[in-house]
Amino acid sequence: MTTDADVIVAGAGPAGSIAAYTLARQGISVLILEKTQFPRYKVCGAGLTHKILAEIPFDVSPVFETSVHNIVFSSGFKEVFKRTSAEPMLYCTMRDKFDHFLLRKAIEAGAKILYDVKVTGVKQDQEMAVVETPGRSYCSRLVIGADGASSAVARSADLRKHIMPGLAWEAEVTADPAIVKAYSQTVFLDWGAFPGGYGWVFPKKDHFSIGVGGPASLTKGMMNYYDGLVAYLADGPWLSGSGTAATNAASGGRNRAYSIRVFETLSMKAWPIPVRVEKSLFHNARVMVAGDAGGLTDPLTGEGIYYAVRSGKLAAEASLKFLGSAAPSLASYSEAVNDELMTELLEANRIKYLFNAVPLKIHRLVRDNDRVWRAFGKVLRGERWYADVRKGFGKWKMLWRLTCLISKWVSDYREKRFASRIKHQAEPSQ
């Protein structure tokens, strides 16, 4: 039986496009099936850290909108401070532009794409995989499921185990152009307001992306939190675009000329953030899942583009070995994802529990301790990894394990208590 391509990639987000680019550059025939038309809007802060840029094999600076040098931290909109870095900490883009840029590179490298084709499932036998869509079926030797958080490929290949649902709300928000310019190098990050929850403002060329996220179990409280964030930006103790922590503290942190008042709220959307919480299989015979389809997002920050790009590359490498008969199966893909990415994500999960247990202490540590602040920057740049925190304990590894266990217990308790509080608030009194 003839095939439509050696490899079919479902979804043209960062995971799919980087996988397709890597394979097409090696002369493999690749067909991408994408359910939308490109460019397409994707709800996302679209903060690109240095470790993402180091993984992408070409320059993506043409789609940068802003570069971030300042982070204004607050804890439940209180105890505001600003930290600054001479080097950009991250770059912000818009996902319609960024994803289209990556996809064009894959097409230039030789990948083929069909738009408006929604994958509904995959079947496979000894010889090949069959990708099902409402119109017709497509055959290939391998399939990479890069079809995002609600992946049809992962579902039909039984690869959706151990995924904890997170949820985020985000909108594109316009404001006074002078204010947008004043904050063009500044991210606002509010954390510690409720367990596992955080809010952010990312600066874009002509607007802000404002969002909140957290565990799906706390969804009910999320819109109130978003409203609180918007009120804080309009009236709270924010820091001016140019002020330092010291000068702002001297003025009580208030300078109403710099408040962010929302003009228009566009494209408010909720989107799942899938978080894999145990090492497990990322392949099943001829099928692999990458990026959000595999639940590869950072439970602490929600960062997913790095994991999408990296797993897309790993899936392409495993495909090349299999197609070139250098490996009898795709097992090396699951091994690589577990060893490299899951080890890091599980460590991030432990640090998240620690943060949830003592949020204000960590907030103040980032404010007061330069070593902690520098470590924060190094993790963003990919110079240090979460796993280094455990290694830093050296022979006191057991102490770290014990701290993590206690933190998880406290974090789970606080999350349940908060969920029950917002449930009672939402229920009308008898």
Q: Which long-range contacts (CB under 8 A, 24 or more apart) does 224-229 make?
A: 225/193, 225/194, 225/197, 225/199, 226/169, 226/199, 228/77, 228/193, 229/77, 229/190, 229/199, 229/201
**Cβ closest to ligand FAD, residue 275 vs residue 281:** 275
For 335, the token pair is 């091994």
Size of the site for ligand FAD (CB under 6 A): 38
**Cβ closest to ligand FAD, residue 132 vs residue 412:** 132
Chain residue whose CB lies nearest ligand FAD: 304
Q: How far is the CB of 398 from ligand FAD (least distance, A)?
A: 33
Does position 159 interact with ligand FAD (CB under 6 A)? The reply is no
Does position 119 interact with ligand FAD (CB under 6 A)? The reply is yes
Stretch that binds ligand FAD, among 240-248, 297-305, 406-414, 420-428 (CB under 6 A): 297-305
Site string for ligand FAD, 310-349 (x = CB under 6 A): ----------------------------------------
Among residues 217, 241, 212, which one has the least CA distance to residue 229? 212
Distance CA 275, CA 295 (A): 5
Does position 201 interact with ligand FAD (CB under 6 A)? The reply is no
Position among 308, 314, 336, 345 found at the interface with ligand FAD (CB under 6 A):
308
**Cβ closest to ligand FAD, residue 94 vs residue 404:** 94
Site string for ligand FAD, 126-145 (x = CB under 6 A): --------------------
**Cβ closest to ligand FAD, residue 65 vs residue 240:** 65
Q: How far is the CB of 166 from ligand FAD (least distance, A)?
A: 8
Does position 14 interact with ligand FAD (CB under 6 A)? The reply is yes
Position among 9, 10, 154, 342 found at the interface with ligand FAD (CB under 6 A):
10
Distance CA 149, CA 15 (A): 12
**Cβ closest to ligand FAD, residue 169 vs residue 322:** 169
Does position 260 interact with ligand FAD (CB under 6 A)? The reply is no
* Contact partners, residue 336, CB within 8 Å, separation at least 6: 314, 317, 318
Stretch that binds ligand FAD, among 183-191, 219-227, 302-310, 387-395 (CB under 6 A): 302-310
Strand partners, 74: 190
Q: How far is the CB of 303 from ligand FAD (least distance, A)?
A: 4
**Cβ closest to ligand FAD, residue 52 vs residue 233:** 52
How many residues comprise the chain? 430
For 260, the token pair is 């962010």
Site string for ligand FAD, 30-69 (x = CB under 6 A): ---xxxx-----xxxxxx----------------------
Buried b (16+ CB within 10 A) or exposed e, 256-275: eebbbeeeeeeeeeebbbbb
Q: Are 6 and 142 in contact (CB under 8 A)?
A: yes
Site string for ligand FAD, 161-190 (x = CB under 6 A): -------x-x--------------------
Stretch that binds ligand FAD, among 4-12, 258-266, 367-375, 409-417 (CB under 6 A): 4-12
Stretch that binds ligand FAD, among 59-67, 107-115, 301-309, 406-414 (CB under 6 A): 301-309
Position among 91, 304, 357, 362 found at the interface with ligand FAD (CB under 6 A):
304
Site for ligand FAD in 206-245 (CB under 6 A): 211
Site for ligand FAD in 267-296 (CB under 6 A): 271, 273, 291-293
Q: How far is the CB of 313 from ligand FAD (least distance, A)?
A: 12
Residues lying near ligand FAD in the complex (CB under 6 A): 10-16, 33-36, 42-47, 118-119, 146-148, 152, 168, 170, 211, 271, 273, 291-293, 297, 302-306, 308
